[in-house]
Amino acid sequence: MPRLLLLVLVLCFFAASCSLDPFRDHSGLTAAPIPRPSGRRPEFWVEYYPYPCWQQQNSISYARPVPDYNGWTDIRMERDLARLSAAGFQAVLLFFTPEHLAKATTLERVHRFYALAAAQAMPLRVGIVLSPMANEFTLQLDNAMTFFRQQGFADKTNALKFAGTALLFFDQNVKLLGQYQGALGYVHFGGYWPARSAPPGQVQRGFTWVIAADNGGNAHLLPKYHDRWAVPRGQGEQFTDALRQALLSPAEIICVSSWNNFNRGSFIEPNSLEYDLFFKIFQAHARIVTDSSRSPAEPAVP
């Protein structure tokens, strides 16, 4: 009899646990309406890591992508691009260290990603961000721009452009030396546009960041990990507030940080922690923009 009672208790425990399942259905999640100027339709960009540092270290245990992956394969690219399109993004910023981007194997993968992104029903535009691991990294501007041009990235049909000019992006920790007099353009985060570490909600020249969450980086390796979040994940409350603030701002480009930076805890990629909760939060807010800019005669897509 005691054994039977124990079995019942165990079954009850697991039954109760089902209600806390992070893989529960979030498909019905919607966003409250936001009063926005008629006809205003900001673009959504996203920070994306083809080779995230945690992939090499394998040190992130509190959350992993679902499905998990290793490397930047065609299968992963196709899945990510389908998800990014379904979420409502128009552009993807690929973050690379300069050393990694210089590898022939990486370059082949980048060209493949551009091609697959261009083949989407609604082609996704792609940009490259040079983002060193060091706190400060010096680059010769002319050399970087020449490399970008020689690799053919500026000639891609879906290259990120401003006023018809293809752009190369530099992260905030890059120190640029020299001048560039060529036909391409560049953006330095922390200069022309705000850095990701800028005060929340800052809009500069029409650009703003929305941070999904932030643990300060590598906090998962430290004691009292969950006390170290500058922007906690929670149930996406702060992410929701940041998205709404961005939609109410004059920003023309809203860039989400990030798709898969698990090291900083800022991921919205479906994962083992909350599955697609953050993904669905973003998707619901992106639909606000789509629905508000659709003419009354245009039917909604189910």
Q: In the predicted model, what is the mean pLDDT of the chain?
A: 84
**What residue segments make up the domains of the chain, in order of their start?**
40-292
Rounded CA separation 43/272 (Å) = 28
DSSP run (H or E) holding 76: helix 74-87
Rounded CA separation 191/188 (Å) = 5
> Distances in Å between the alpha carbon of 222 and those of 21, 228, 263?
26, 9, 12
Distance, CA of 233 to chain centre: 15
The answer to whether residue 284 scores a pLDDT higher than 70 is yes
Residue (of 213, 148, 202) closest to 172 by Cα position = 202
Q: Give the tens place of pLDDT for each residue, 59-93.
A: 556 788 999 988 999 999 999 999 999 999 999 99
For residue 161, the model assigns a pLDDT of: 96
The answer to whether residue 42 scores a pLDDT higher than 80 is yes
Confidence band, pLDDT 50/70/90 cuts, at residue 143: very high
The answer to whether residue 53 scores a pLDDT higher than 80 is no
172 or 24, higher pLDDT:
172
Query: What mean pLDDT comes out for the span 134-162?
Result: 96
Q: Give the tens place of pLDDT for each residue, 203-261.
A: 999 999 999 998 877 655 555 555 667 788 889 999 999 999 999 999 999 999 999 99
Residue partners of 10: CB distance under 8 A and separation at least 6: none
Q: Give the tens place of pLDDT for each residue, 88-126.
A: 999 999 999 999 999 999 999 999 999 999 999 999 999
Q: What is the DSSP letter of 124?
A: P
State whether CATH 3.20.20.80 applies to domain 40-292.
Answer: yes
The answer to whether residue 292 scores a pLDDT higher than 90 is no
Confidence band, pLDDT 50/70/90 cuts, at residue 20: very low
Confidence band, pLDDT 50/70/90 cuts, at residue 29: low
For residue 151, the model assigns a pLDDT of: 98
For residue 15, the model assigns a pLDDT of: 36
For residue 21, the model assigns a pLDDT of: 43
